[in-house]
Chains A and B, each alone.
Chain A
């Protein structure tokens, strides 16, 4: 695979992951469990949208066909989005939201740490900026998992259930295909296998503090990176694409 073609796809994947999770969190705006947490989750959402914009813009620049961040966000169809299934999963209860966030943030924390030293300047700068944000998202979600797990009887079983549900979705984050292989061998991105055990150890440390028993191992999520999504995705896209699709190219 041509390196530029792989780079475009890689940028879009990172952008799609951030955008769909950012959208999920934005659904909680004004619906958070209490005011302070409402703002915290909306802040995380905005950070993710910022990351999305950088990645979509970079993809458009490399592609060189004049596609903008808006084109990628609003004018693609479901099979063209290549985000992992993890980020599409519904917000559920607060435990579900934090469990999803923890898995996502810990993974991206390790990815960005390595991606900072990419020989591609754009990717390196993006990773350095995003690492700071992600470090905070990780701290926030991990601390909540600890408090929910080590909280009341109810919060404990709810977050245990949430982790059982979401844990199988981590596999996709470590999947590799032609896009990844091309960029890894060109030295542009890290091989996720190099930090898989560190990722799992970090999560385990949080689970131990949270007095969470072993998390159930089920199926292995797959499909998002080739555009095969869960049912949820079909409900997400119409919501944020409805305005630009109804009034194409309108300005305000």
Chain B
């Protein structure tokens, strides 16, 4: 099957527990939103992976371009002070 006679592509996000962030788990092809949701349920939650599903049309996702990666991400390389590892934390503050 060539790409152009497939149903539209959808990205699937699963929330494993209420309150936790949705995680991208993969994608699928489906004719429309309802069937994408059903297919996502069948493909990605059959082993109790989740309690809630998002499906998003792949076309609707705005992604950064690999060509931009130097200007986007390299400038952070020498700014390790942004990782808050230089502060002395009080003993009482655990799990930070």
Contacts and interface: CB of A to CB of B under 8 A. Distances in A.
A36 B28 CA distance: 7
Contacts of A219: none
Main secondary structure of the interface of B (DSSP, over half): mixed
A39 B31 contact: no
A140 B38 CA distance: 7
A139 B29 contact: no
Contact of A40 (B1, B7, B29, B42): B42
B25 interface: no
A143 B42 contact: no
A37 interface: yes
A34 B6 contact: yes
Main secondary structure of the interface of A (DSSP, over half): helix
Contacts of B39: 36-37, 39-40
Contact of A36 (B1, B30, B32, B46): B30
Interface residues of A, number: 13
Contacts of A147: 31-32, 35
A39 B39 CA distance: 8
Nearest to A34: B29
A43 interface: yes
A39 B30 CA distance: 13
Contacts of A37: 39
Nearest to B40: A36
B78 interface: no
Interface residues of B, number: 16
Interface string B42-56: 110010000000000
Contact of A39 (B32, B34, B42): B42
A43 B46 contact: yes
B46 A143 contact: no
Contacts of A43: 42, 46
A35 B27 CA distance: 12
Nearest to B41: A136
Interface string A128-170: 0000000010011001100100000000000000000000000
Contacts of A39: 39, 42-43
Interface in B1-42: 1, 6-7, 28-32, 34-35, 38-39, 41-42
Interface of B: 1, 6-7, 28-32, 34-35, 38-39, 41-43, 46
27 contacts: A34-B1, A34-B6, A34-B7, A34-B29, A35-B28, A35-B29, A36-B29, A36-B30, A36-B39, A36-B42, A37-B39, A39-B39, A39-B42, A39-B43, A40-B38, A40-B39, A40-B42, A43-B42, A43-B46, A136-B41, A139-B38, A140-B38, A143-B34, A143-B35, A147-B31, A147-B32, A147-B35
